[in-house]
Amino acid sequence: MDTDADQQLSKFFDQLTVEKRASDHTIKNYYRDLRYLNQYCSDKALNSWRDVKPGDIRSHIASRHRQGIGSKSLQRELSAIRSFYNYLLKNRWVDNNPAQSIQAPKQARKLPKTLDVDQVNGLLEAGTDSALEIRDLAMFELFYSSGLRLSELNALNFADIDLPDQTLLVRSGKGGKTRLLPVGSKAVHAINNWLAQRLKFTSTSESALFVSMRGSRLGQRSIELRLAAWCKKKGIAEHIHPHMLRHSFASHLLESSQDLRAVQELLGHSNISTTQIYTHLDFQHLAEIYDKAHPRAKKK
């Protein structure tokens, strides 16, 4: 690329830093993504950003895909390229955005990993040895009882949960949505046990439901680490993360009720197509039963 192209790229990053106040993480990603495009253009002897056509962007993304780059990463790269070209358009250094209509290859949808009911029972009935484990069990019960996201459990306040009514209010759901959720009796019992210990760690002025030993809100990473430590101590070999309990909640509920809309509401999904992935899990379970039980389907 020529000197003007390099200067335009440099000015774009100045704008991101000063005017847009983008995070260091965003700037780092954009820099890496646009560096790949810059290298492609140099290899193809494209000297200015104006020379780049939609076919070049398509070819560049296809090349990255052949290198094993996943769909989500390619979507992010395209987003960076579109943002850069929108900046060039605004300054009239190009006439169009060649990345505008280019789509990343679709990623094969992976089925979420779930635990079966016996595995969940083994995880949640392992017993507690300390006040912190009482807290941890309350968190894990709540993940499975109400299908919470990690960020939602982390953001829960003491005032958000109504134990006599067996409900909780998620105020900080994905997309800023609020939803009211039921809380199962096992989770209610576990939370009551934790509340009996909570004031040993914090004051009445702290709003967070789950707090650390220092008395402040327990962070998301700490929750993940506590679940890993719980599994290790209880002799559970499988790597279990908080979202796996949410997936298990959805799968088990759908398996029993067959009510996709209800599960969608409980999970807080905006689009039912997101929830439909659990129907594939349910079918997978039925197919396994069929293979084992049907006299003409049994494998020799």
Contact 88, 8 (CB under 8 A): yes
Predicted local distance difference test score (pLDDT) of residue 169: 93
Which segment of 182-196, 246-260, 269-283 scores lowest on mean pLDDT?
269-283
Mean residue pLDDT of the chain comes to: 88
pLDDT over 80 at 73, yes or no: yes
Structure token pair of residue 23:
């995070």
Which segment of 19-23, 206-210, 291-295 scores lowest on mean pLDDT?
291-295
What is the mean predicted confidence (pLDDT) over 107-126? 82
Cα distance from N-terminal residue to C-terminal residue, the chain? 63
Predicted local distance difference test score (pLDDT) of residue 135: 96
Predicted local distance difference test score (pLDDT) of residue 287: 61
Contacting residues for 51 by C-beta, under 8 A, at least 6 apart: 41
pLDDT band per the 50, 70, 90 thresholds, residue 239: confident
Distance, in Å, from the CA atom of 65 to the CA atom of 121, rounded to the nearest integer, reads 42
Predicted local distance difference test score (pLDDT) of residue 297: 62
Predicted local distance difference test score (pLDDT) of residue 160: 95
pLDDT band per the 50, 70, 90 thresholds, residue 141: very high
- When comparing pLDDT for 242 and 176, which is higher? 242
Predicted local distance difference test score (pLDDT) of residue 10: 94
Domains and CATH numbers, the chain: 3-90 (1.10.150.130), 117-291 (1.10.443.10)
pLDDT over 60 at 300, yes or no: no
Predicted local distance difference test score (pLDDT) of residue 295: 66
Distance, in Å, from the CA atom of 82 to the CA atom of 186, rounded to the nearest integer, reads 50
* pLDDT tens-digit readout, 50-61: 999 999 999 999
Contact 45, 4 (CB under 8 A): no
Annotated catalytic residues are 149, 174, 243, 246, 269, 278
What is the mean predicted confidence (pLDDT) over 157-172? 92
pLDDT band per the 50, 70, 90 thresholds, residue 282: low
Distance, in Å, from the CA atom of 244 to the CA atom of 265, rounded to the nearest integer, reads 18
Predicted local distance difference test score (pLDDT) of residue 251: 87
What is the mean predicted confidence (pLDDT) over 127-145? 94
* pLDDT tens-digit readout, 77-111: 999 999 999 999 999 999 999 999 999 887 666 66
pLDDT over 60 at 299, yes or no: no
What's the gap between Cα 93 and its chain centre?
Answer: 38
Tell me which residue of 262, 155, 285 sits closest to 207, measured CA to CA.
Answer: 155
Predicted local distance difference test score (pLDDT) of residue 196: 95
* Three-class DSSP labels, the chain: CCHHHHHHHHHHHHHHHHCCCCCHHHHHHHHHHHHHHHHHHHHCCCCCHHHCCHHHHHHHHHHHHHCCCCHHHHHHHHHHHHHHHHHHHHCCCCCCCCCCCCCCCCCCCCCCCCCCHHHHHHHHCCCCCCHHHHHHHHHHHHHHHHCCCHHHHHHCEHHHEECCCCEEEECCCHHHCCEEEECCHHHHHHHHHHHHHHCCCCCCCCCECCECCCCCECCHHHHHHHHHHHHHHCCCCCCCCHHHHHHHHHHHHHHHHCCHHHHHHHHCCCCHHHHCHHHHHHHHHHHHHHHHHCCCCCCC
